[in-house]
């Protein structure tokens, strides 16, 4: 995770792009209620670019006339991140044991390995189940039988695969061709509303598979605003701000996921929790926290610059960093609530990895993780998620 980080039949397609009518049919389905069986995705119908965009734009506008329906999980959620590969491996037994032996009660599972994409001869982007999909559904059922809350991580706009299949959906370079970030990855242009159906379909499929919550990650523009704005030609005929288009995507996504029976969360950069200059990635506290059920700032101590909040060496004092970040986040929520605006529940990502590239740094084991958890609790936050890219976690003492 970068910290500062879908064969539909014709009938299913109409549901996919009929966002407004779906949103107007009633209240969100609570995750504990029975879910309909999972549909088999049959692809996104090929249309001319202008027709697809016009249809989605009109229906998104209608959907946006409906207020957000924010629903908080009833109990604290304390999770670990699990990669798609680990979720398919024997290591899951040990991770389940870890959860059952500690205060942990949830897992965030990458679903990318279960849902692939392809393009047919007519140019339609299809969401396909991989061989991993049945195994993932079995895993979800297994975890729920053990009363483990399951969250599906959906990587949204950083999608080189979709960009390769349909380059017109990607961010375009002003000099021609698909723009790529410094790591060589292509991104989908969030302004391209005809690209939204793919991540929305993945999210809905995962919800109907039984996940309790859908977590949108990389629901933003690439970082390094100055370089991106200098090099990228955006498809933005309405002249919308980056924050506004991300807000609109989350609004539409939340309605879809709620109807499928799951909660909705979004990851945001840690600094989004702290008032300051706009980061230029399309994430502001107000535009995200007022559209989803849970907002998750990635407040890894190692990712803050020396001197932040007067802390000279952030990685060495994780409790202080978490305390300041969550104080800022809760203040922003309280300000919105005082104005009568409903807000998302705050559930931070905490550091469970050693940032060897930071100088100075320390090894992050049980003591450092516990220090962050205690700081979160003192700030009034009893839910959290632990991030380790390799899904390796120490046994946490009570």
pLDDT in tens, 114-136: 888 887 777 767 778 888 899 99
pLDDT of residue 109: 98
Q: Which residues pair with 150 in a beta bridge?
A: 107
Predicted TM-score of the model (pTM): 0.85
Mean of the pLDDT values across residues 306-335? Answer: 98
For 200-243, what is each residue's pLDDT tens digit? 999 999 999 999 999 999 999 999 999 999 999 999 999 999 99
Arithmetic mean of pLDDT, 252-267: 96
User: Residue 272: inside a domain, yes or no?
Assistant: yes
- Report pLDDT digits (tens) over 178-194: 999 999 999 999 999 98
> Which pLDDT score, from 0 to 100, does residue 20 have?
34
Contact between 215 and 266 under an 8 Å Cβ cutoff? The reply is: yes
Report pLDDT digits (tens) over 34-61: 333 333 333 333 333 344 444 555 656 6
Average pLDDT over residues 3-26: 36
- Within a domain: residue 34? yes
The answer to whether residue 138 scores a pLDDT higher than 50 is yes
Residue 117 resides in a domain: yes
pLDDT of 372: 98
Tell me which residue has tokens 């933005």.
236
DSSP alpha helices (H): ranges in 34-117? 49-64, 84-87, 91-101
* pLDDT in the model for residue 397: 52
Residues 6+ apart with CB under 8 A from 337: 343
Tell me if residue 158 falls in helix, strand or coil.
coil
CB 107 within 8 A of CB 80: yes
Torsion 83-218-309-285 (CA) sign: negative
Asked whether residue 267 is domain-assigned, the answer is: yes
Tokens of 369: 């993780």
Which pLDDT does position 60 carry in this prediction? Answer: 63
Confidence of residue 148 (pLDDT cuts 50, 70, 90): very high
What is the number of structural domains in the chain?
1
Each residue's pLDDT tens digit, 67-115: 889 999 999 999 999 999 999 999 999 999 999 999 999 999 999 888 8
pLDDT at res. 37? 34
Specify if 1 maps to a domain.
no
pLDDT at residue 113 in the model: 82
Which CATH number fits the domain that encloses residue 90?
A: 3.20.20.80
Domain that holds residue 166: 10-387
Note whether residue 398 is domain-resident. Answer: no
Q: Which residue has the tokens 């790529």?
A: 180
Q: What is the pLDDT of residue 40?
A: 34
The answer to whether the CB of 189 falls within 8 A of the CB of 167 is no
Confirm whether 27 is domain-assigned: yes
What pLDDT, on the 0 to 100 scale, is given for residue 118?
80
pLDDT at site 130: 84
Comparing 41-45, 62-66, 372-376, the range with the smallest average pLDDT is 41-45
Q: Output the six-digit token pair for 305.
A: 């610059």
Q: What pLDDT does 61 receive?
A: 65
Q: Which percentage of the chain shows pLDDT scores above 70?
A: 83
Closest CA to 191 of 238, 142, 251: 238
Residue 236's alpha-carbon distances to 53, 251, 333, in angstroms, are 11, 18, 30
Does 173 reside within a domain?
yes
**pLDDT above 90 (res 7):** no
> Cβ of 175: how many Cβ atoms within 10 Å?
8
The winner for highest mean pLDDT among 2-6, 10-14, 278-282 is: 278-282
């Amino acid at each position: 995770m970068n910290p500062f980080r879908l064969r539909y039949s014709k009938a299913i397609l109409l549901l996919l792009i009929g966002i407004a009518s779906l949103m107007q049919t009633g209240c969100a389905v609570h995750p504990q209620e029975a879910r309909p069986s999972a549909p088999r995705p049959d692809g996104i119908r090929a249309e001319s670019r202008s027709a697809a965009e016009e249809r989605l734009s009109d229906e998104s506008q209608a959907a946006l006339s409906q207020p957000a329906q924010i629903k908080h999980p009833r109990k604290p959620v304390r999770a670990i991140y699990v990669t798609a590969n680990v979720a398919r491996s024997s290591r899951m037994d040990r991770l389940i044991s870890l959860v059952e032996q500690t205060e942990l009660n949830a897992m965030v599972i990458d679903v990318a390995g279960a849902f692939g994409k392809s393009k047919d001869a007519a140019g339609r982007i299809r969401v396909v189940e991989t061989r991993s999909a049945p195994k993932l559904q079995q895993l979800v059922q297994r975890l729920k039988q053990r009363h483990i809350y399951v969250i599906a991580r959906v990587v949204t706009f950083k999608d080189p695969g979709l960009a390769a299949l349909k380059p017109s959906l990607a961010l375009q370079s002003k000099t021609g061709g698909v723009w790529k970030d410094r790591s060589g990855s292509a991104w989908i242009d969030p302004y391209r509303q005809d690209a939204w159906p793919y991540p929305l379909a993945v999210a809905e499929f995962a919800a109907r598979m039984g996940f309790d919550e859908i977590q949108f990650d990389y629901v933003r523009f690439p970082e390094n605003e100055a370089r991106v704005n200098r090099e990228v030609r955006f498809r933005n005929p309405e002249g919308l701000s980056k924050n506004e288009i991300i807000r609109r995507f989350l609004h539409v996504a939340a309605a879809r996921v709620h109807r499928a029976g799951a909660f909705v969360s979004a990851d945001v950069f840690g600094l989004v929790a702290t008032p300051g200059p706009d980061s230029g990635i399309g994430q502001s506290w107000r535009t995200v926290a007022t559209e989803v059920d849970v907002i998750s700032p990635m407040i890894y101590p190692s990712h803050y610059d020396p001197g932040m909040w007067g802390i000279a060496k952030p990685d060495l004092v994780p409790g202080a960093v978490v305390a300041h970040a969550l104080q800022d986040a809760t203040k922003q929520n309280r300000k919105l609530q005082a104005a009568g605006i409903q807000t998302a529940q705050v559930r931070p990502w905490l550091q469970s990895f050693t940032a060897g590239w930071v100088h100075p740094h320390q090894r992050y084991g049980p003591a450092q993780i516990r220090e962050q958890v205690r700081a979160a609790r003192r700030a009034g936050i009893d839910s959290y998620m632990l991030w380790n890219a390799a899904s390796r976690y120490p046994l946490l003492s009570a």
